[in-house]
Structure 1
Amino acid sequence: MRSFTHLRFVPLVFLLATAPLLNGCVGLAVGAGAAVGVAAAEERGAKNAANDKGIQLLINDKYLKDNQYLWRKLSITVVEGRVLLTGVVGTEFSRDEATRLAWAASDRIQEVINEVQVTNSGDLLDSANDSWITTQLRAKIATDKNIVDINYSIETVNGTIYLIGLAQSDDEIQRVTEHARIIKGVRRVVSHVWLKTDPRRRPV
């Protein structure tokens, strides 16, 4: 299961037109009362969530127009202007191009974190197992009363879990990481989570 901030297969215009109908798409407030409620409950707030969604859609559209290979292969997650790219491509050139096009999509981007994996074949991706890993981790942190799970986005690629979001404390980050590490099939856990008190945080 891709994280709820991941949209890949729909052109920008269609996404904007149908945004109120999309389950789980946080931050597009117009006509989406439930989504607004979820966004408001996040540490980043509804306004930043909406702006992050806009950045995500712009990158998605940039890939669609300029490089459909990347559009098909990559996942885009955005938290307070920090863009996390995940997926699998066949060459280092494609990996670098993913970063370049992402930066070109919006002047609101504060950081591009490229965690795209390069293999000899861009098709080497165990999607079913990765989805199951993500589902298990999402369930584990949702039932841990010491974790505000809504603040975390999760992507799993070939057994590697990538985390991004905002944590209440170092202890919370540690708890999420420990939950992730004990899931069968997980090879490693990469965290790009910031504390909510991190001085690097900026409004989008």
Structure 2
Amino acid sequence: MFKRSLIILGTVVLLQGCAAAVVAGTASAVTAANDRRTIGSQIDDNNIEIKASIAISEVERLEKSARVNAISVNGIVLLVGQVANQEMKNEAQITVEAIAGIRKIHNQLRIGSNIGITTQTHDSWLTSKVKAQLLAAKDISSNNIKVVTENAEVYLMGLVSQDEANRAVDIARNVSGVERVVKVFEYIN
């Protein structure tokens, strides 16, 4: 509690009255403090995602004709998006594998045309609906579950117990519009 108070006070002092920034910063600090990952692991995951995005953008054909997103939780990376063929799918994975700190990659890239803005918007809406349902559930810690939606497929990531994983999957499956739920969890005791 003392640590959280210091973070909030420091944020307020540094931002000198910018209410929106204070609220956002406080929410981020509280979320970070309640995450089962260490602060160092959270920073590492952020760095992995940035490095993956840069590495993929440096591969000309992936940059031009593919849509690849890398999401990292505790060094476990999920690749989602669309590529034109199996060769490009493999190339995206090899490109990301070169990044330090990655423990495992789940390559869920789909071969096909890139999804459009309408589908991306619908995916954002589905993610919000799943997160809201997880937040409302009393028997799981939604702060420890990352929700990623790609073309109506919901991917659930995080450090969770087996019971939390099963409950989260059940919640996500019952959200209208979700076509498939994929577990990318790391299990704790």
TM normalised by structure 1 equals 0.73
Other-structure match for 2:150: 157
Matches within 5 A, 1:107-186: 107-119=100-112, 121-123=113-115, 126-167=119-160, 169-186=161-178
Counterpart residue number, 1:81: 75
Seen in structure 2, the aligned counterparts of structure 1 residues 64 and 33 have a Cα distance that, compared at 3 Å, is farther
The offset of 1:68, in angstroms, is 6.6
Contact 1:83 / 1:111 at 8 angstroms: preserved in 2?
Answer: yes
**1:136-162 deviation line (CA, Å, top 9, x unaligned):** 000000111211111111111222111
Pair 1:35-2:31 in alignment: no
Give the 3-state SS of the residue equivalent to 2:139 in structure 1. Answer: coil
- 1:102 and 2:112 aligned: no
The alignment's TM-score, normalised by the length of structure 2, stands at 0.78
Amino acid at match of 1:90: A
Aligned residues: CA RMSD: 2.3
Kindly tell me: are residues 58 and 68 of structure 1, through their superposed partners in 2, closer, same or farther at Cα, counting changes over 3 Å? farther
- How far 1:175 sits from its partner (Å)? 1.2
1:17 aligned residue: none
CA distance in 2, matches of 1:34, 1:188: 30
Q: Which has the higher helix share?
A: 2
User: How many residues get paired?
Assistant: 166
Q: Highest Rg: 1 or 2?
A: 2
Gaps of 5+ in 2: 1-20
Matched, 1:91 2:85: yes
Identity of matched residues, %: 27
Q: Distance in 1 between the 2:27 and 2:123 partners? A: 28
Q: CA deviation at 1:172?
A: 1.3
Distance 1:178 1:129 in 2: 20
Paired residues of 1:36 and 1:46 also in contact (CA < 8 A): no
Q: Please tell me whether the aligned partners of residues 89 and 122 of structure 1 are also in contact (alpha carbons under 8 angstroms).
A: yes
For residue 181 of structure 2, what is the aligned residue in structure 1? Answer: 189
**Structure ranking higher on relative contact order (CA contacts 8 Å, 6+ apart):** 1
